[in-house]
Structure 1
Amino acid sequence: MKTQQLTKLLNWFDGKNSVLVALSGGVDSALVAYSAYAKLGKSAIAVTADYKTLAQEELEYAKKISLEIGIKHIVIEYNELANESFVKNDNNRCFYCRSELSEHLLQVAKEFETDMIVDGTNIDDLGDYRPGVLALHENGIRSPLAETKFSKKMVRETAKSVGLSVYDKPSNSCLASRIPWGQSVTAERLARIEIGEKIVKQLTGAKQVRVRDMDGTAKIEVGIDELHLLENNLVLQKIKSQLKLISFEDVSIDPEGYRPGKINVITN
């Protein structure tokens, strides 16, 4: 089944002369980049946008993935915090983010004379509220995984079978997703979220970590199977004292653990 799915994905690139792959640092876009390069060689280029809400860890993963695959990798930089629509953080934040990203990707595609831009959206992504996916598709960006009916599980299995090191990497999203709708996105908040997540990972060993910035209170989520890592009181006290040092006013643990889209509600 995995071989069949991979063949289907590789065949998707038949007849395409050149593609630009939006590479985020996650397993989905990694598999797309792998397949594009396997089929098109130097006519496939990966591009990662360092837009100030991308965790630096994700950027490093994108660089590592590109080296593994052998694909040419370009990093573009711009500042999403200059976009007022994005900063106000309403329920269309992802739409504004992906619309701006699309503009930059289209510019890169023009510079390198590539025919098409592709991303790592899979069929599981289409079930959630995803205005960002809509923005990409409105700008003509194609999703080979979704079009060949790849689920997240299939992506991970196929990535493992072709030897991609990120096959079991926990899913991630931009740092702004840790701030509830209606609370503005600021450089200070993004910095303390990113540092906060590093602290929690270092002190607990948890892989799936979110530090939600709930109006100055850090709400920590780890994977449901990793909740036991937060049971050590000494570790908890260290986490709390270190998060307060980086300007969180208070710290709480979510006893239900992490699940995607948990704060997709507007809070004033």
Structure 2
Amino acid sequence: MNTKLKAWFAEHPQVALAFSGGVDSAFLLHAAREAKANVRAYYVISAFQPQFEREDARKLATSCGVKLTEIPLDVLADTRIASNPPDRCYWCKRAIFNAIANAAQLDGLPVVIDGTNASDNASDRPGMRALQELGVRSPLRECGLTKRQIRELSREFGLPTWNKPSYSCLATRIPHDQPLTAEALAATERAESFLRECGFSDFRVRRCGSCARIQLPRDQWDKLLNEHETIRAALAADYDEVLLDLKERTSE
């Protein structure tokens, strides 16, 4: 394990981890266990998270022998979030981490941590301001671990998430100032679930008016074009048209 990270947990032996089941939080959970810290994982259930993420989080927590606490949160009840302003992520993070902090306090865990790493740019992540205001600690960032290093270490430790594509919440698929609704978010999840079942990976289905704009790596374009009729038919109930974004998606 990274010596700085081990020392960090030695100073903070009781922690509540905001857990998504992604690369960073999975590695952080493993590191906390290796450091013999008293760690509990917390997963916030909302309209912004697809079912597969929840299932991944459950499996990973179980494999690490860590209790996973699931916290339901109605993010759409907050108009500062549902109206989808440019700083939506700030208000959403505040709601999520307030919920986790309250649960952690009841469990007697004094420090809330998250998987923000040294590659994350604070200037374009308004949610990071909320974390700072709430006193959430980010051990990976504080110890200088980049996304690439975390993937490499995860592979060395045999974690199944080492090459898992990065995944942002469903709300990011809808343009700012276009209201977020349960129906639009559910349509996004259905579309992305279908494409995942078709064998696509590391993609996004972004809403563009009444259309679905699919963004994916260049090496998957031919597959999309070859299967376009099947995809159009599957998405027709939720979108008028299906478009290919000619700006390819690049992996982190």
TM-score of the superposition, structure 1-length normalised? 0.90
- Report the alpha carbon displacement of residue 127 of structure 1 after superposing the two structures with TM: 5.1
C-alpha separation in 1, matches of 2:84 and 2:59: 31
Tell whether the 8 Å contact from 1:123 to 1:146 is kept in structure 2 after alignment: yes
Instruction: Determine whether 1:229 maps to 2:244.
Output: no
Tell whether the 8 Å contact from 2:84 to 2:179 is kept in structure 1 after alignment: yes
Alignment gaps of 5+ in structure 1: 261-268
Tell whether the 8 Å contact from 1:221 to 1:257 is kept in structure 2 after alignment: yes
Match of 2:213 in 1: 219
Match of 1:173 in 2: 168
- Deviation digits for residues 23-68 of structure 1 (CA, Å, limit 9, x no counterpart): 0120101111111122235x21011101121111111111111112
- Deviation digits for residues 85-144 of structure 1 (CA, Å, limit 9, x no counterpart): 001101101001001012101101110110100000011112550011111121000001
Match of 2:88 in 1: 93
Instruction: Determine whether 1:8 maps to 2:9.
Output: no
One-letter amino acid matched to 2:11: G
Instruction: Determine whether 1:202 maps to 2:197.
Output: yes
Match of 1:240 in 2: 232
Instruction: Determine whether 1:191 maps to 2:182.
Output: no
Tell whether the 8 Å contact from 1:217 to 1:248 is kept in structure 2 after alignment: yes
Aligned counterpart for 2:76 among listed residues 77, 81, 97: 81
One-letter amino acid matched to 1:16: H
C-alpha separation in 2, matches of 1:117 and 1:92: 22
C-alpha separation in 1, matches of 2:145 and 2:30: 15
One-letter amino acid matched to 2:112: I
Q: Secondary structure at the match of 2:159?
A: coil
What are the equivalent positions in structure 2 for 1:116-131 lying under 5 Å apart? 116-126=111-121, 129-131=124-126
Tell whether the 8 Å contact from 2:122 to 2:128 is kept in structure 1 after alignment: no
One-letter amino acid matched to 2:163: D
Question: How many residues matched?
Answer: 251
- Report the alpha carbon displacement of residue 17 of structure 1 after superposing the two structures with TM: 3.2
Tell whether the 8 Å contact from 1:179 to 1:213 is kept in structure 2 after alignment: yes
C-alpha separation in 1, matches of 2:91 and 2:71: 18
- Report the alpha carbon displacement of residue 223 of structure 1 after superposing the two structures with TM: 2.3
Tell whether the 8 Å contact from 1:224 to 1:257 is kept in structure 2 after alignment: yes
- Report the alpha carbon displacement of residue 195 of structure 1 after superposing the two structures with TM: 0.4
Match of 2:18 in 1: 22
Alignment gaps of 5+ in structure 2: none
Match of 2:242 in 1: 251
**Range that drifts further, 94-103 or 30-39:** 30-39
TM-score of the superposition, structure 2-length normalised? 0.95
